[in-house]
A and B are shown apart, each in its own frame.
Chain A
Amino acid sequence: MNKWIVGIIVVVITVGVGLALGLYLFVAAPQLHSAQLLSMPKALVDVKLEKNKGEVFTAENFANHWSLIFFGFTNCPDFCPLELQKLGKVLQLAQQYNSQSHFPLQVIFISLDPERDTPDKMKAYTAFFHAQIQGLSSSNFELAKVAHFFGSDYSRSAVKAGAVLNIPAGIDMPGDIENDYKVDHSARIYIVNPQSAYIGSFAPPHNAEQMWADLQLIINKYKPTVM
C-alpha cells in the first residue's frame, strides 16, 4: 500500500515539475517580435551588385557580417526614408552593443531604380540616414535576380499617353518615359548571416528597438559559429 502511495507521489511531483518547467520555458523564453526565420538558411550565390562606380559588391562582402537588406529607391518620398531612418537607428544600437561578442552589423540599401539612382546619388542619400549604410544597385537584370533570391517582389509603372505602363522587374525603363514613374517594392527587411546565407526577414511594420532585440536573439542563437 505504501509503495502505491509513494509511486503516486513521485508521479505527481514529476508531472508537476515537468509542467512548471515547460510553462517557465514557454513564458520566460524571449520571443521574436517581427523577425521570421526560414526553416533552412539559403546560401547567397552569384550576387553582383555595384557600390561605387566600378566597385563590385558580391556574396563575399556579406561574409563575417550580420546584414540587413532593404530594397527601395531614392525618389520614394514616404516609406523608404522612414525605413532607412529606422535602419540607421538599428546600426546605432548595434554599435553601442559590445562588438567583440558578435560579427559587425551592416545595413544595405539596394535601389531598384538604377536609371535614376546613380552611385553618387546613392552615396549622398544613404549618408543622410547613417554614414555606414551602404547604397548598392546594379543592372535591372541583376537586380531582378537578387530580389528574386530573397522573394522580394517589385515592379515599376509609368503613365504613358494616359495609360498605365507596367515595367516588370528586370526590364530597363523605356527611354521615352519621363522621370515621373513609381516603384512598388517589398516592405520587408531581409537578414543575411555571417556565413553569407539568407536566414529570414522582418515583416512590417518595423520598429528599430524591436528589430535590434530580435537580432540579438538571432545572433545569440548563432553564437556557437562565431570563431
Chain B
Amino acid sequence: MLDGKLLYKICHGYCLLMAIQKNASIAIKILLLMPFLSFVFSASAAQLIVEDAWVKLAPPGVTSHAAYLRLINNNKQALTITHISAAGYAQVLLHQTKIVKDKVQMDLVETLEIPAGTSVEFSPGATHLMLIKPQQQQQINDQVSVTLMFNDGTRQQFMASVQANNE
C-alpha cells in the first residue's frame, strides 16, 4: 500500500526541484494539488481493524444513543483518535461509563491512544460512542457511516449496522 506521507514528501521534493530549475508553472500546479493529494492518500495511511461495529436501536425521541465496536491496532506504531463523526448525527463523543461507589457516571474521553499490537473494546456499560442529535429515527439494519480522525490528520471510515441487542 502506498504511504500517503511518503507520496506527499516525494511531490514536495519534486516541486522544490522544479522551482530550482525555474520551471515554476508546473511546480505551482503541483503545489496547489498538494492538499488534495494529502487528503486522497491519507486514507491509505496506517489503519485500524474495525470489528463488530453496531449501533444500538434507540427508543423513539431520544437525543442520544450509543454505538459499539472493537478496534484492533496491528500496526507498528500507536494510533491516536482525536475526533469522531457520523453521518446523520450532529456530534459524536467518545464516552466511558463508570460505576463509582454505586453511582453511574459518564466520562468524556477526549483522545484515545491505541498502542501498537493492542485492541480496544467498546461495549454496553463501558466505553462507547455517544451519537448525539440524530437527524432521523434509525431502524433495524440501517447503516451508519462513522469516521475516525487521527492525530496525524488521517481518517478512517467504516459502517455500523443498527441492531436491537438482547443483552
Listed in ascending order, the chain A residues whose CB lies under 8 Å from chain B are: 74-79, 81-82, 85-86, 121, 124-125, 128-129, 153-154, 179-180, 182, 184-188, 203-205
Contacts and interface: CB of A to CB of B under 8 A. Distances in A.
Contact of A77 (B95, B103, B165, B166): B95
| Consensus secondary structure, chain B interface | strand
A71 B124 CA distance: 18
A82 B130 CA distance: 14
B167 A85 contact: yes
Given A184-B104, A187-B103, A125 B59 contact: yes
B61 interface: yes
Contacts of A184: 103-106
B103 A185 contact: yes
Interface of B: 56, 58-66, 95, 97, 99, 102-106, 124-125, 128, 130-132, 165-167
A174 B106 CA distance: 21
B59 A79 contact: no
Contacts, number: 76
Contacts of A79: 97, 104, 106, 125
Nearest to B58: A81
A124 B66 contact: no
B102 A187 contact: yes
A75 B103 contact: no
B59 A77 contact: no
B16 to A, nearest CB: 43
Contacts of B59: 74, 81, 124-125, 128-129
A205 B123 CA distance: 14
A128 B60 contact: yes
A90 B61 CA distance: 24
Nearest to A180: B132
A179 B124 contact: no
Given A77-B62, A184-B106, 12 more contacts: A74-B62, A77-B95, A78-B124, A85-B166, A85-B167, A124-B60, A124-B61, A125-B60, A128-B59, A154-B103, A182-B106, A184-B105
